[in-house]
Structure formats: C-alpha cells, structure tokens
Amino acid sequence: MKKKIIYSIDGLYRDDFRVTGYEFGEGEKTLCIVGAMRGNEVQQLYCCSMLIKKFKQLEEEGRIKEGCSILIIPSANPYSMNIKKRFWPTDNTDINRMFPGYDIGETTQRIADGVFNEIKDYKYGIQFTSFYMPGEYVPHIRMMKLGYNEMELAKLFGLPYIVEREVRPYDTTTLNYNWQVWETQAFSFYTTKTDSIDKTSAGQAVLSILNFLSALKVVKYHGPKQLESRIITDTEMVSVQTAKSGFFDSKVNAGMKVKIGEELADIIHPYNGDVIETLYSPVNGTVFFMHSEPLTYANTAVFKIVED
C-alpha cells in the first residue's frame, strides 16, 4: 500500500488542505474509488476505509493481479468533514458540480481540477455518493444514459438494483459524467445511509466491489453467490407524497417488501401530537427510498417504491 497526496493547498491559518489517496498494486490504472466529496458523507468515507483495510490484506496475500493498480481516495473534502458542513465552508459550493475543474478558478474548481487530473485515466471508476433528498436507500448502482457505459458491467456488482436515468444539464459538471467523457467506465454507488454509519450496507458495498473485481479477474476473491440485478429507471418508481407537514413516523424501512394498502407512516401534528395523516402503499413492491428526517413538509415524496 502506498499513501500519496493527490492534491494540496497551502493553509494560511490552519493545516494545509490535502486530498489523500491509497494505492494498491502496480501497473495499469485499473480502478479508482472516490469517497466523500461532501462534508456529511460519513457512510461514504466509512466504506472507503473498509475497502482500504481489505485491499491492504489482498495486496499482502498477493491476490491483486500483476500489472493492475487500484487507487482509493477516502475524502476529497476533508475541510468540510471537519466542521460537518455538506458543501465548501467559505462559499457553500459543491465540489461535485465543478468537474473537470479549472486550475486558476475558484477553490472548489481548483480542487476538482487537481483531483481529476490524477484519476481521469483509470479504466473503471466508482464514486460513493449521496442524493439531494435526505433519506435511506436500497444499496444500488446509478448510471446516466450517456452512451459510454456498458450496462452489463454494472450487473457484476451483484446488487439488487441498477438505476438508469436520463442526463440532466447539471450532470455535465459531475465526476461521473466527466469520467465517462474521458472514457472511464463510471459507476455511482449508493449505500443505505449518508450522515451516519450503517455497517451492514457498508459490508455489502465492500463485497459488491470485490465481486466486481473478481469477475474482471483483477483480484482473487470467492464471495457469496451474486444477486441477479434488476435494471429500472427513475420513472418506474412509485412516489408516495405527504399532504400535511409534521413529524414523520415511519412504519417500514428501506428494502422492506410492502403490500398494497399497507401502512407506511404517520404524519403527526408537531404541536398537539395528533396523527393528521396516514400514508399507505399504493402498490405491492419494495421500499427503495425512505425519508429519514424527523420532520417533513407537505407535498414531499417521502417514499419511492419499486413495484413488483
């Protein structure tokens, strides 16, 4: 294992800003894994730490294919993580909306440029990322319909779902989009949590990536039998929305099977404690997404269900 500085900025009053990477194996740039790019992505950081521990073991045991190198960047935004702020502390910009970067631009543009120059030539790229809607998800791979990616490769992770979605205008400044433009097979990996640790889904993420690399014969690893992945789109998911604002009291969790008419959650009046709304499942299916904040607004999608 080699520890190296991917990018750094001199600090005026505090320690220097450093993006650190851990490299395993030698030779062709085979796989790059990027973790927390936002300050609240604790689970994404944790997944990378577990992978670094595992790849260190695999390297010591000689189970990484000769001529292949793997790079893991646990965090591209340690300053924000230090103060638990999602975006860049001084101007609230999102590093994952700054790619491919600009070396004489704003701070986050420079960080994106410095990181991207180091990782743009890898054959495969995996980003542990988070969604703009706070909540819990079924672990899955999310891919853009950009025309560069091979959908069959995503099945090698052995996760239950692969979500394929249309490209939106803001996607052009994300890491995933630019990785693909530079001919990297890029995958966005979503685990259950974001700002807290879920060891079970982190373990599932580690196993999934080992399954992926084992299928590509990059590492020697014999894992459990893989699931048959189902490819879905955002439009196939059935949204369940609130009509009232209040405390959100969920009766189910992400990944649970639900039946049509099954109670999903109560919305509770924040002043007097009365149940002012009960949400029911409109279909038979699996809870793909669940709102996880204690409060919710009216007309908010608090569940997304994949219909059977």
Q: Could you tell me if 177 and 214 lie in one domain?
A: yes
Give me the CATH number covering residue 88: 3.40.630.10
Domain boundary residue, one of 232, 258, 284: 232
Apex CA 208: angle with CA 167 and CA 264, to 5°?
Answer: 70
Question: Given pLDDT bands bounded at 50, 70 and 90, which one contains residue 297?
Answer: very high
Q: Could you tell me if 195 and 246 lie in one domain?
A: no
**What's the confidence (pLDDT) of residue 147?**
77
Q: Could you tell me if 204 and 163 lie in one domain?
A: yes
Over residues 269-298, the mean pLDDT reads 97
Domain that holds residue 257: 237-307
Domain boundary residue, one of 200, 232, 264: 232
What is the total count of domains within the chain?
2
Q: Tokens 């990027």 label which residue? A: 34
Kind of pairing between the strands at 135-137 and 67-75: unpaired
Reduced to 3 states, what is the DSSP secondary structure of residue 134?
Answer: coil
Q: Could you tell me if 94 and 127 lie in one domain?
A: yes
**What's the confidence (pLDDT) of residue 140?**
96
Q: Could you tell me if 193 and 251 lie in one domain?
A: no
Q: Could you tell me if 167 and 243 lie in one domain?
A: no
**What's the confidence (pLDDT) of residue 131?**
85
Give the pTM: 0.94
Q: Could you tell me if 16 and 29 lie in one domain?
A: yes
Q: pLDDT for 219-275, tens place per residue?
A: 999 877 777 899 999 889 999 999 999 999 999 999 999 999 999 999 999 999 999
Question: Given pLDDT bands bounded at 50, 70 and 90, which one contains residue 11?
Answer: confident
Res. 217: pLDDT tops 90: yes
Q: Could you tell me if 226 and 294 lie in one domain?
A: no
C-beta pairs of 252-255 under 8 Å, 24+ apart in sequence? 252/287, 252/290, 253/136, 253/287, 253/290, 254/135, 254/136, 254/137, 254/138, 254/192, 254/287, 254/288, 254/289, 254/290, 255/138, 255/192, 255/286, 255/287
Res. 87: pLDDT tops 90: yes
Domain boundary residue, one of 206, 232, 258: 232
Q: Could you tell me if 168 and 260 lie in one domain?
A: no
